[in-house]
């Protein structure tokens, strides 16, 4: 079976080789772990955001940036485009922010292929029937500070690899790379909701594509989190090719999948988060989904389209 860590390493090697032109910084910790700063002490770049997103997806997706991405005749933003022929593995087996990395004073949301080694969380890998056994561990961290040796050692231990074989890519939410990589979760938001909220077998999704606008960069981390989530919730468009089985209600899956089908829909994410006292667990899981969904049922040939791009809410979120 394909290894998300070995596939992602090909992109990591490009980032290390072209660090200067990507406006990123490479450093080695005393334990040999490699740190790739994509926005903490550097500016980053559009291309760095593309590559970072591809690493998040375990190297199993094509990532590009469309300039501009039209959302309506009067509103356009640069947008991230995702295409993958390994939807379950690339999005849930790698990209999903399924690892809360907490070591000492350091905390970050961890995404990327190293999750498949540490099985974070184990039930996800049981549900998609995937596990990696590579001897290198690559993790992307959404954080405002760079991790130290203690963090790299802890990740190495959980992944059962040597610390010198750990590669940690870091980008704050309030950075260009941060905005790009969160927009790049547009397909993953849909597969996540299929599995977690609708209990649909995501291994039946054979191909997927999506596009979402890149949220404007906000130096306030909480506001940046709101805007980047809204880019997908109100502006993300996704396409899923599903090999259904007799008894699957694909029409119902499509109807329930968009963000607009959630009870809490209708306000910018920052407002919803604030009302929930900044507690993710008080927010309806169904909100974390793309705005627009198209599903092609490969067994029947039928096409289902649900949801819509909400330009008004995007403008409100982005402060236009």
User: Which DSSP letter does residue 203 get?
Assistant: G
Token pair in block for residue 229 = 């989530």
Q: What is the largest CA-CA distance in the chain?
A: 57
User: Which DSSP letter does residue 199 get?
Assistant: -
| Per-residue confidence band for 284, with pLDDT thresholds at 50, 70 and 90 | confident
Token pair in block for residue 113 = 């292929």
Q: What per-residue confidence (pLDDT) applies to 177?
A: 98
| Per-residue confidence band for 157, with pLDDT thresholds at 50, 70 and 90 | very high
Q: What per-residue confidence (pLDDT) applies to 4?
A: 98
Describe the crossing of helices 221-235 and 176-183 by its angle, rounded to 10 degrees. Answer: 30
Q: In this model, does residue 71 exceed pLDDT 70? A: no
| Per-residue confidence band for 287, with pLDDT thresholds at 50, 70 and 90 | confident
Q: What per-residue confidence (pLDDT) applies to 249?
A: 98
Nearest to 78 by CA among 174, 176, 185: 176
Backbone angles phi, psi at 173, to 5 degrees: -60, -40
Q: What average pLDDT is seen over the chain? A: 95
| Per-residue confidence band for 106, with pLDDT thresholds at 50, 70 and 90 | very high
| Per-residue confidence band for 74, with pLDDT thresholds at 50, 70 and 90 | low
Q: What per-residue confidence (pLDDT) applies to 75?
A: 74
Q: Which whole number is the average pLDDT over 101-114?
A: 97
Q: What is the pTM of this model?
A: 0.96
Q: Which whole number is the average pLDDT over 103-126?
A: 97
Q: What per-residue confidence (pLDDT) applies to 261?
A: 96
Q: What per-residue confidence (pLDDT) applies to 263?
A: 85
**pLDDT, tens only, 224-276:** 999 999 999 999 999 999 999 999 999 999 999 999 999 889 999 999 888 88
* Alpha helix positions (H), the chain: 4-17, 19-22, 46-56, 87, 115-118, 122-128, 149-159, 176-183, 186-196, 221-235, 250-256, 269-275, 311-318
Q: In this model, does residue 73 exceed pLDDT 70? A: no
Give yes or no for a contact between 315 and 261, defined as CB atoms under 8 angstroms apart. no
**pLDDT, tens only, 168-219:** 999 999 999 999 999 999 999 999 999 999 999 999 999 999 999 999 999 9
| Per-residue confidence band for 69, with pLDDT thresholds at 50, 70 and 90 | low
Q: What per-residue confidence (pLDDT) applies to 210?
A: 98
Q: Which whole number is the average pLDDT over 106-135?
A: 97
Q: What per-residue confidence (pLDDT) applies to 168?
A: 98
Q: How far apart are CA 175 and CA 24, in angstroms?
A: 12
Q: In this model, does residue 66 exceed pLDDT 80? A: yes
Kindly provide the residue ranges of all beta strands, DSSP E only, lying in 226-310, ordered along the sequence.
237-242, 292-297, 303-307
In three-state form (DSSP H/G/I as H, E/B as E, the rest C), the secondary structure along 125-179 is HHHHCCCCCCCCEEEEEECCCCCCHHHHHHHHHHHCCCHHHEEEEECCCCCHHHH
Give the pairing of strands 137-142 and 166-170.
parallel
Q: Which whole number is the average pLDDT over 84-107?
A: 97
Q: How far apart are CA 258 and CA 255, in angstroms?
A: 7
Q: Which whole number is the average pLDDT over 32-52?
A: 98
């Amino acid at each position: 079976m394909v290894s998300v860590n070995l596939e992602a390493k090909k992109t990591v090697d490009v980032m290390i080789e072209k660090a200067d032109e990507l406006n990123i910084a490479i450093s080695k910790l005393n334990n040999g772990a490699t740190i790739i700063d994509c926005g903490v002490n550097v500016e980053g770049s559009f291309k760095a955001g593309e590559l970072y997103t591809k690493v998040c997806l375990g190297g199993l997706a094509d990532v590009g940036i469309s300039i501009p991405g039209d959302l309506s005749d009067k509103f356009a933003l640069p947008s991230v485009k995702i295409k993958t022929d390994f939807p379950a593995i690339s999005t849930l087996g790698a990209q999903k922010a399924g690892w809360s990395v907490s070591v000492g004073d350091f905390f970050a949301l961890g995404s990327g292929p190293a999750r498949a080694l540490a099985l974070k969380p184990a039930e996800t890998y049981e549900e998609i029937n995937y596990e990696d056994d590579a001897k290198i561990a690559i993790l992307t961290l959404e954080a405002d500070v760079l991790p130290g040796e203690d963090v790299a050692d802890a990740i190495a231990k959980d992944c059962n690899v040597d610390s010198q074989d750990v590669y940690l890519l870091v980008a704050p939410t309030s950075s260009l790379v941060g905005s790009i990589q969160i927009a790049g979760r547009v397909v993953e938001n849909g597969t996540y909701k299929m599995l977690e909220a609708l209990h649909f077998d995501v291994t039946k999704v054979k191909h997927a594509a999506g596009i979402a606008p890149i949220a404007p960069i906000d130096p306030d981390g909480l506001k940046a989190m709101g805007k980047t989530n809204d880019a997908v919730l109100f502006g993300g468009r996704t396409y899923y090719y599903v090999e259904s089985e007799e008894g699957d209600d694909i029409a119902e899956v499509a109807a329930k999948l968009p963000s607009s089908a959630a009870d809490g829909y209708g306000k910018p994410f920052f407002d919803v988060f604030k009302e929930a006292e900044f507690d993710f667990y008080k927010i309806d899981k169904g909100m974390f989904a793309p705005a627009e969904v198209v599903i092609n049922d490969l067994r029947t040939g039928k096409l289902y389209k649900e949801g819509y791009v909400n330009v008004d809410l995007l403008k409100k979120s982005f402060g236009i």
